[in-house]
Chain A
Amino acid sequence: MPKNQNLKSILIIGSGPIVIGQACEFDYSGTQALRSLREDGIETILINSNPATIMTDPTMADHVYLLPLNTKSIIKILKEHPQIDAVLPTMGGQTALNLCIEADEKGIWEDFGVELIGVDIDAINVTEDREQFRALMGKIGVGMAPQATATSFLKGKEIAQEFGFPLCIRSSFTLGGAGAAIVHDEADFDRLLTYGLEISPIHEVMIDKALLGWKEYELELLRDANDNVVIICAIENMDPMGIHTGDSITVAPAMTLSDKTYQKMRDMAIHMMRSIGDFAGGCNVQFAVSPDENEDIIAIEINPRVSRSSALASKATGYPIAKVAAKLALGYHLDELENQITKSTSALFEPTLDYVIVKIPRWNFDKFEGSDRTLGLQMKSVGEVMGIGRSFQEALHKATQSLEIKRNGLGADGKGYKNYEQIIEKLTHASWDRVFVIYDAIAMGIPLKRIHEITKIDMWFLRQYEELFNLEKEISTFTIDTLDRELLLEAKQKGYGDRQIAHMLKCLESEVYKKREELKINRVYKLVDTCAAEFKAQTPYYYSTFEAEIETADGKVFVDNESIVTDKKKVVVLGSGPNRIGQGIEFDYSCVHGVLAAKECGYETIMINCNPETVSTDFDTADKLYFEPVFWEHIYDIIRHEKPEGVIVQLGGQTALKLAEKLSKYGIKVLGTSFEALDLAEDRGRFSDLLTDLKIPFPKFGIAESADEASALADQLDFPLLVRPSYVLGGQGMKIVINKKELEEHVIDLLKSIPGNKLLLDHYLDGAIEAEADAICDTDGNVYIIGIMEHIEPCGIHSGDSNATLPPFNLGDLVMEQIKDHTHKIARALNTVGLINIQFAVKDDKVYIIEANPRASRTVPFIAKAYGEPYVNYATKVMLGHNKVTDFDFNPKLEGYAIKQPVFSFNKFPNVNKALGPEMKSTGESILFIDSLKDDEFYELYARRKMYLSK
């Protein structure tokens, strides 16, 4: 059956603010779905409260509602758009499904004659309600772990007695494994059971026998209305059962499954999919496989919607799951659609990979002091990276190089652990660094068998690690002069960075690079094409690798490179890498707009990024996508290959910005604001001199490199003091101290964790109001302030964690004039070309400068959404020299105020101090429009402000 012709207008529900367990992967899937529906001439209406998304751009849907995700908003939209025929709830994660169910229970869909497409309520219920799901699996003969439901504390205790420990507790209808825990013994059970029941909206937990050490797999499927089912990707968790899949290192394709067992799993998945009622779209099924010779397979769960894993699977295979899922929801059958990559073959097929991808989660435990850093059933990571390589080893290395945690890959950087007890402890209690510790354990000589016993990680993976270490050892016996081509090529093929090889050979990175050049060991680029080169692909989605040589019949020797360089003028946009606190989806928003703007200016756009959750790494976004670590060596090789006019660094947050220095040093043009200006803004001393010259006030400050110096400085500056290391992100390590004892403690702490760093001490303007301005500036010094926001909370709370209003709600004309005046002066003085964000503290009607960042800030997407203006587009055109600020017709539209509200994920870290301070802790944000300051919500936020003031 082809498309359902009755569907002309469709409502899509987004996933709201970013929280742990539900991140920007839903911006990617929502964006794809909107584009896909539009291709079919469908009118689209979107609701999502997250302004920092591409999907909420006015151009993405016919009507975008930046409203809170509740039934009140749904009713409002349905009243305004009686033409809506259907709602598609499978693109916005659990949030959208839950809202859809709530609206269904209230009879809203029925009242407005809105059809549910993609999935029906029964299918959602049967997959969400663990009791129903279990009953269904029993009926169709799919095995599950012994499991029972408890809706009361007493019932839970009874179940535990029956099953014995270890047990898993999982809360029903929650997200990212919230409330889930493994209970090893009775002592912890009561507490965890109570917590699990409390966090479930229906006060229900599932208790199951823990299958610790079983191998864990996920299959990403598509099913159409004709019951055709295809498996898009099989993902193997390197970390076995016991660690949430969102926190596991995962690999595709499955590495250790025989065809027999894989096909059995495939049959089960299809059987399960077909049993859950009406469903047309993308779906995820999770399985556990016993590691013994029985290879028993049991089902864990089904998610009848696109997910984090489907985003990963889309990037891993090149098959755009959400895009096709949206078409299936319209009624199309898979065999009626084409493969989006080859454009010549059918969408009804199963992608095959001739490379390996490794996903590693990115954690931010440092932001949650006191948190339990051990990984378990509850997801704790805030982002992820994906590495693509022609072997598991290369992919693993690339993923570790993408993390931006100051590691160059596995081993060979002198940063490994060397203490036996510590290594065993870290293997036992998996945390963010276990992926590195395995290497250290092998280096220390701990037998693989022992590592396997502790971690239960499949021996195949451990042997791959061992091979890497053996290679490192072998190379270490050479010098840069004696190393032969074959061995160097092998090291590069296995993903070792030049820096690591330099470490092994005790030489400089540049010498390794030079040697590579001499020996013609150069990166080549291969396509992600869904079909292992069986068909010609049309999609410019590349990854790098090193390959063996080929010799033509007439003796020409070459290495096969699939990335053909065009003679068009090109620009590279550097992405922002993994999401983390302080650098999230906002920067991906900016990167995507940068790419689109550069396209409009006639450039061929080249995107480099390694975050699989994002729109920027959708192959539909840039003209060429290089899915590569935002890591110097990879970037430099791409630039050498493509020879772009320049690189845009100011859109990809700190990740991209910090590469500006090296780019400049290597003579590569940084488009927009120069490296010198970026550096000047970061250098507190020189920046203060500049402010002094401009006669702009700033809080007294000083720089200290030891506790003694800090103490002496404190006498000059007066307490309270704001203490922080230089060059950090999201206020990392920033703290307000009120006396010398606190100062000394914090200084010692900082110098311990970041040795050799310079510390900045600012006099803290107690009780000041904080405000910030974003502006665009061009080479002629024209400045346009795109927005000024006032924080509701007082100074001292990180701007990312503050509620803020656009425009300011109670700053007088005098203050506003100073803000504008300072912004103009600073933007010009820094020779800003593009975006700049300046933060202010206002005390006694005097405006002080806290800091200036000549780059796209976190607030830019918010302001763009609130005013309905494409500011990043304008700024990019200014950076490229294509336009002047004066070329644009600025026409901001906003009635009343827009409030930016931070959203936190503290529920994932029950023991963490939730107090806010100069270090950012929020994971996402939402936008709230109010007509006037009399609005109750604003009043409440404002009233809460007093709470902080009284502290």
Chain B
Amino acid sequence: MKYQKLKKAIVLLADGTIFHGKAVGKEGTAFGEVCFNTGMTGYQEIFTDPSYFGQLMVTTNAHIGNYGVNDEEVESDSIKISGLICKNFSYDYSRDNSNGSLEDFLNAHNLLAISDVDTRALVSYIRDNGSMNALISTEVDNIEGLKKQLAEVPQMAGLELSSKVSTKEPYFFGDENAPIKIAALDLGIKTNILRNLAKRDAYIKVFPYNATYEDLKAFNPDGYFLSNGPGDPEPLVDAQNVAKQIIADNKPLFGICLGHQVIALANGISTYKMHNGHRGINHPVKNLVTGKGEITSQNHGFAINREETEAHSDIEITHVHLNDHTVAGIKMKSKNCFSVQYHPEASPGPHDSSYLFDQFISNIKS
């Protein structure tokens, strides 16, 4: 092993601010909306989470890559973030139960990564100025050219992205002889949601984001699931219509994250883009029904309007985020329908909320 000198690289924000760093490996330029995740574990799960599609991910943990990658600890079939920004990158890893280094994994998925950035300053900057489009690049001598390219990247607000990450064809997950059948609408579903449902004796058929209620109904499911996913929920009109029909039929329905927002929209509650979103695995949520707290995994840049939710006659707020009191979970009083803004499937993150899957199953059974 010898000392390795790394090439220079930069993060360029849409407002023209530049953060200097070094290229982890491959050269080039990558674009996306810059966001940060404060988790101290679970980088591989984060990078493969479809909800992060189109985002330049700043990992706040001081080191990334320490334990390599594992073929099974993925949330989809590929890396979904558009680029990685980190502080210290571990080229060498240490874990017996690993299939290779993070560097190789990033290269295999052709992902650009930059390290040695003052990520803390970058996070503070996003916190104060809001999330914005950015690029990372090794073309450090072509700032003006890069600025022009960056200006052409569309804004996240109003952007429909489920179509980019959803499955093209329906597929099945779990044991086909399982007693419960669930139809899941894939708006960018994380695999661990499917694992959690399958573990609870469910057989799941996963449908593309643009499937109709009739498509789903044809599977003859006992319950319906609306998944997480990237982008703005508002343009997802088809999914909202599906939700409306499921609700109208009063079929058991559970939504997570983007699915939760879709359910809110289906009930006439609006959504908005948050200042910088919630992304981490330490977010405190209070279950208003039980009075208990839970530490949750979160990843969302949009949220549902609290006042409208409170004013809605058929919606009860079941969970609130303890830091900023945003709505973290709702249920419909007259229907068999509930949803949460956060990720009970964790991966990465704590398992405090996995009871929600039990609740869904029990809703189906009752």
Contact = CB atoms under 8 A, between A and B. Distances in A.
A345 B293 CA distance: 14
Contact of B280 (A335, A392, A459, A534): A534
Interface in B25-63: 36, 38-42, 45, 60-63
A946 interface: no
A538 to B, nearest CB: 14
Interface string A534-551: 111000000000011111
B293 A470 contact: no
Query: Taking chain B's interface residues, is the majority helix, strand, or loop, or is none over half, making it mixed?
Result: loop
Contact of B118 (A257, A292, A293, A550): A550
A531 B322 contact: no
A704 to B, nearest CB: 48
B62 A354 contact: yes
B177 interface: no
Interface string B110-154: 000000111111011001000000000000000000000000000
Nearest to A524: B118
Interface in B260-288: 280-284, 286
B73 to A, nearest CB: 6
Interface stretch (B207-215, B216-224, B245-253, B343-351): B343-351
Contacts of B70: 258, 260
B353 to A, nearest CB: 12
A551 B18 contact: yes
A263 B293 contact: no
Contacts of A260: 70, 73, 347
Interface stretch (A96-104, A222-230, A743-751, A908-916): A222-230
B254 interface: no
B112 to A, nearest CB: 17
Interface stretch (A16-24, A552-560, A936-944): A552-560
How many B residues are at the interface, by size bracket?
Answer: 35 or more
Contact of B94 (A228, A253, A335, A463): A463
Contact of B293 (A335, A391, A392, A549): A335
B195 to A, nearest CB: 12
Q: Which of A253, A258, A390 has the most CB of B within 10 A?
A: A258
Contacts of B16: 552-554
Contacts of A259: 39, 41-42, 45, 73, 281, 347-349
Contact of A348 (B62, B95, B284): B284
A716 interface: no
Interface string B1-35: 11101000000000111111100000000000000
A194 interface: no
B97 interface: yes
A230 B295 contact: yes
Interface stretch (B85-93, B160-168, B182-190, B232-240): B85-93
Given A227-B292, A253-B40, A470-B1, A458 B120 contact: no
Nearest to B128: A536
A336 B351 CA distance: 22
Interface string B61-85: 1110011001001000000000000
Contacts of B121: 547, 550, 560
B87 A390 contact: yes
A355 interface: yes
B307 interface: no
Contacts, number: 194
A548 B118 contact: yes
A533 B124 contact: yes
Nearest to B122: A550
B87 A266 contact: no
Interface residues of A, number: 69
Contacts of A295: 96-97
A293 B96 contact: yes
Interface string A553-581: 11000011000000000000000000000
Interface in A460-515: 460, 463, 466, 470-471, 473-474, 486, 493
B62 A258 contact: no
Contacts of B292: 226-228
Contact of B61 (A354, A470, A548, A553): A354
B291 interface: yes
A598 B151 CA distance: 54
A255 interface: yes
A395 B121 CA distance: 19
A907 interface: no
Nearest to A259: B42
A552 B19 CA distance: 9
Interface string A649-678: 000000000000000000000000000000
A392 B62 contact: yes
A151 interface: no
B346 A257 contact: no
A460 B94 contact: yes
B124 A263 contact: no
Given A257-B41, A267-B351, A391-B62, A292 B96 contact: yes
Contact of B66 (A460, A466, A551): A460
Contacts of A348: 284, 286, 293, 295, 322
Contacts of B313: none
Contacts of A254: 40-41
B366 interface: no
A349 B281 CA distance: 10
B334 interface: no
A254 B62 CA distance: 11
Contacts of A921: none
Contact of A257 (B67, B73, B90): B67
B362 interface: no
Contact of B291 (A226, A350, A353): A226
Nearest to A234: B40
Contacts of B348: 259, 263
17 contacts: A227-B292, A231-B295, A258-B42, A259-B281, A348-B295, A349-B282, A349-B283, A349-B284, A352-B60, A355-B62, A459-B94, A474-B3, A533-B120, A533-B127, A534-B60, A547-B121, A551-B18
Given A263-B41, A266-B350, A460-B93, 14 more contacts: A254-B41, A255-B63, A258-B95, A258-B97, A263-B350, A266-B351, A346-B284, A346-B322, A348-B286, A390-B62, A459-B92, A470-B3, A547-B120, A547-B121
Interface of A: 226-228, 230-231, 234, 253-260, 262-263, 266-267, 291-295, 333-335, 344-346, 348-356, 390-392, 458-460, 463, 466, 470-471, 473-474, 486, 493, 526, 531-536, 547-554, 559-560
